[in-house]
Amino acid sequence: MRKAGLPQSGRVLIFTGAWLLLLLALLASLALGASEIPLTRVAQLLFAPDDSTDSLVVHALRLPRTLVAGLAGAALAVSGLLLQGVTRNPLADPGILGVEAGGACAILVMVVFFPAAPSVLFVPAAFLGGVLAAAAAYSAAHSAANSAGLTPLRLALAGVAVASLLGAATRSVQILFETRAQGALFALSGSVAGRTWEQLWQVAPWLGLGLVLALLFAARVNVLALGEDIASSLGARTARDSAVLTALGVVLAAGSVSVVGPIGFVGLLVPHAARALVGADHRLSLPLTALLGAAFLILADVAARVVDRPAETPVGILVAAAGAPFFVLLARRIGRRA
Amino acid sequence: MNRPEDLASPLSTHDLKLAYGTSVIVPHLNLSLKAGQVTSIIGPNGCGKSTVLRALARLRPVSGGNVTLYGQALHSLPSKEVARRLAMLPQGPVAPEGLSVEELVWFGRHPHQGRFPVRRPEDREAVAWALSQTGMTIFGRRPLEALSGGQRQRAWIAMSLAQQTEILLLDEPTTYLDLSHQLEVLQLAQRLNREQGKTVVMVLHDLNQAVRYSDEIIAMRDGEVYAQGRPEDVLTPALLTDVFGLKAHLLSDPDTGRPYIIPYALTR
């Protein structure tokens, strides 16, 4: 006899494990890379920086990129969880509203057409690109909606249309301005290499606030996940709540895309892993998704640094390589259940 | 707008117009339900019966007229207040994967809880009561997908019961259930009415079940009420011909003395 839910002790164990995994990922990310720094030295340098190269590597290079990867991983994964819950679509992820395509297109436009722009503008531009793409998808779905309203299917179709349009635009620019687009190739594959403290501070407030709000709204996601009819019957204001939660998902996704570029699969697979561990209650699966998302992207970035050392590999490629088999597993599992 | 009889009626409609885009399903409906009774809405496919039930539960927008809950305009009441007075179970609800029966039933307390829910003793009592009324107490920890169709339907009804409303609306609650599970659901609805005094409104397809388990029948055709009244008064050969296009023998149910319908031919 299968049972749903876990006893209290099981949950404590899972959350302890997730925190330990995140800690492990952080330490590995500070210690590993083009040069290896022993863990004891990392710990010592963290609290007492000195003039050594190791200290510079830890504080100026690895710490900001690790924090960027952790924050972006958590935000992408939580964004996917929110969108999956609100749209009741297990295959929803931050890409479904065109956020990633919009962010990528904006990054390329900045690199190709405004190469002289101050670097501080790149993150807001990509953020804007992601948000505008989602807004375009939303309004396209809205204008086509009849009395049946803005259904998740309609939204997903509009998102796919916007994403492919933006993908075509991105590729056109790449072909027409081949030499100038070279500089954006790495960013377009999704990467946290060379992220600075400045870039971290540009997105940290947005992502931090978004994650806190998502935690506060977790109970509402639970009600919406029962479907619009049931949620309305229970007295939820479904149109308002799903708009707010979708917007939150978009901001989280656009915020991460703006600093790490388009990274797929994290927003799709981490929520599934979290739900498989703690069940359908978003008050549990949401914090777990954040922890696992952060740990996953940090570890993927560590792998991206050591797989072809000393050269860097875009982390987005590694995530896709690890994510694709998982995706097939997921599809098989859903297929069996249906 | 407020007629005196509306104040006593749990749900009434006033020149209610329901439409999908430009196609009008219900042109102008004036309906008044009686408190403390089991009412069944019957009618052929496409007659608008589910659409009307959804409008009564404010699950769909109205194109004209309005619905009142004991004389108050339904659409102007706060949605949580409505959900404390009226529970609606739509057709074929699907729960997220992994949700347990008990977790599902707890959602019934949503309209009674504030922004940041705490589990008060009265909430626990309501959930335990809803589980026991539906015989689902022993399945509390099971995930919904591990249950049979009949058990799953009872779990959803338990969620609606946990709302502790005086009115319960059920949209085709017996669909996809085998005969014994159908009776189980209908008997539960009848018991809740007799023992708790709940007003129950159902959309049913099986005419004999509607006759047997209802105090009042509303027969609909083309978005309008063709007849409303006691089952024995409403279910006549003329109604079966006009509403369903059927010729039928009407026998007398040996238990209730109400009509038992055996259709034998189509009239169209």
Measured distance CA(A266)–CA(A319) in Å, rounded: 7
- What pLDDT, on the 0 to 100 scale, is given for residue A146? 58
Domains located in chain B, CATH noted: 4-94+165-266 (3.40.50.300)
Can you tell me the ipTM of this complex?
Answer: 0.89
Closest CB to A147: pick one of B61, B84, B107: B61
Closest CB to B100: pick one of A4, A85, A226: A4
CB contact under 8 A, A147 and B84: no
CB contact under 8 A, B84 and A235: yes
Measured between beta carbons, the chain B residues lying within 8 angstroms of A144 are: none
Closest approach of chain B CAs to the CA of A280, in angstroms?
Answer: 6
- What pLDDT, on the 0 to 100 scale, is given for residue B171? 93
Tokens of A140: 């396209």
Which 3 state secondary structure label does DSSP give B1? Answer: coil
* DSSP result, A58-96: IIIIIHHHHHHHHHHHHHHHHHHHHHHHHHT-TT--GGG
| CB neighbour list of residue A99: distance below 8 Å, 6 or more residues apart | A130, A131, A133, A134, A250, A253, A254, A257
The segments of chain A whose pLDDT lies below 70 read: 1-7, 145-150, 333-338
Top-confidence residue, B63 or A48: B63
Domains located in chain A, CATH noted: 8-337 (1.10.3470.10)
CB contact under 8 A, A223 and B83: no
Measured between beta carbons, the chain B residues lying within 8 angstroms of A234 are: 83, 107-108, 110-111, 163
The average confidence (pLDDT) of chain B is 90
Count of H-run helices and E-run strands, chain A: 16, 0
Closest approach of chain A CAs to the CA of B52, in angstroms?
Answer: 14
Contact A233, A40 (CB under 8 A): no
**Tens digits of residue pLDDT in B132-171:** 998 899 998 999 988 988 889 999 999 999 999 999 999 9
Residue B95 confidence class, pLDDT cut points 50, 70, 90: confident
- What pLDDT, on the 0 to 100 scale, is given for residue B119? 85
**Tens digits of residue pLDDT in B202-225:** 999 999 999 999 999 999 998 899
Mean pLDDT of B74-83: 90
CB contact under 8 A, B59 and A229: yes
Measured distance CA(A320)–CA(A318) in Å, rounded: 5
